[in-house]
Structure 1
Amino acid sequence: MSAATSPLDVPEGRKPRSRGRWQLLLILLVTLGPMILATSMYKFKFWVPDGRSYHGAMIGNGLSRADIGIQAQEQRWQLLVSAPAACDQPCQNLVYLARQIQIGLGRDASRASHALVAAQPLSSDYQQLLTREYPQLQRYPLDLQRYGEHVNEPGPQLWIVDPHGNLVLRYDATVKGKHVLDDLRHLLKLSNIG
């Protein structure tokens, strides 16, 4: 009586170990391949998308509030308006915009604050308006020399600052509030701090 052949039997001339080696190589390629590709893309800067999902100027050099002459100890995300000269109408518009953006955050409004840093004293009329209409607005002095060392943009600027005091994004006085709100919402969604 002849023995029945099983489908698991290895045909003659074929080694069972070679199949296992190919499977191991395939598994390694599938798991390590994307990591090697991503590292190579980062190191050698190829296939990097040109598009971006934010509207302001990204501050990617590690500058903090203190580096540009602002001494504040806020532990939340901050919409910071800087006025290297007198706080004229474009500056006042940014202060208003910063407050409206914080209100527009809705349930996340407590995760952010708004502030004004000015190199020159505010006019008495504007000071009274801020006290009356902007009770939560924080105010700080601006060290103009340190500010000028790092910021080459003229006029008032709106900054998004993270809870550690790092500058994240910068906008000029012509920015649309919806763009800043979208950027801040995106940052808050990705962040576990603040």
Structure 2
Amino acid sequence: MGAAMNPPARSDMPAPARRRGRLQLLLILLVTVGPMVLATFMYKLHFWVPEGRSYHGELIANGQTRADLGVQADETRWQMLVTTPGECAADCQQLVYLARQIQIGLGRDASRASHALAAPQPQSADYEARLAHEYPRLQRYPLVLGKYAPLVEGEPGPHLWIIDPHGNLVLRYGPQVNGKDLLNDLRQLLKLSNIG
């Protein structure tokens, strides 16, 4: 009766049972540690990394913020910010129009985003009147050119930026951006985000 209560010592286990136990332990280690090791090697050696991407703008993934861009704002929603180093000419005005249309196109998620214009100087009286009439919700900010210029070096002209609720720059688009692509990018960000 005493022998039945005490399990046999490891040396008393038959060889097939020991091999099966080692195989199970090896499989458990492989399943738990294997993916982490594989992911580390993929990252370090750059293999099996997908070449495609699901966004259309230029990804800004270096921790830069709206303040680094030369704009001070307290916006806590996702923001489409149009920046221009000077007068908001036709291509800039097209981006301002597009930002408003994209926000409308978000439908029920429209309240999670805003649109804004940042420029170093006031716009012409005609355009200011037009903005006040046609874009009543457009936020406007001063742009500090000394901070802005290094971020867009070699790419003068207006840009449209998607900025997260924490003020981080996420994506940048030039004046030729396709509105449908921009809308898809912003919808994807809102879908994946639990902030804003």
Q: Give your verdict on TM over 0.5.
A: yes
Question: How is 1:27-106 mapped onto 2 (pairs within 5 angstroms)?
Answer: 27-106=28-107
Q: 1:156 aligns with which of 152, 155, 158?
A: 158
Distance in 2, Cα, partners of 1:64 & 1:151 = 14
Mapped contact 1:68–1:151 kept (Cα < 8 A): no
TM-score of the pair, normalised by structure 2: 0.90
* CA RMSD after TM alignment: 1.3
1:75-120: CA deviations, max 9, x gaps? Answer: 0000000011210010000000000000000110000000000122
Matched residue SS, 1:115: strand
Distance in 1, Cα, partners of 2:124 & 2:166 = 31
- Percent identical pairs in the alignment equals 69
Distance in 1, Cα, partners of 2:144 & 2:80 = 18
TM-score of the pair, normalised by structure 1: 0.91
Pairwise CA distance, 1:45: 2.1
Q: Does 1:169 align with 2:142?
A: no
Distance in 2, Cα, partners of 1:49 & 1:33 = 20
- Residue type at the aligned position of 2:102: I
Distance in 2, Cα, partners of 1:138 & 1:75 = 13
1:29-51: CA deviations, max 9, x gaps? Answer: 12221121112212332221111
- Residue type at the aligned position of 2:100: R
Structure 2 spans left out of the alignment, 5+ residues: 1-13
Higher mean alpha-carbon deviation, 101-110 vs 13-22, is at 13-22
Distance in 1, Cα, partners of 2:159 & 2:130 = 20
Matched residue SS, 1:169: strand
Distance in 1, Cα, partners of 2:177 & 2:46 = 30
Q: Does 1:181 align with 2:195?
A: no
In the alignment of these two chains, the number of paired residues is 183
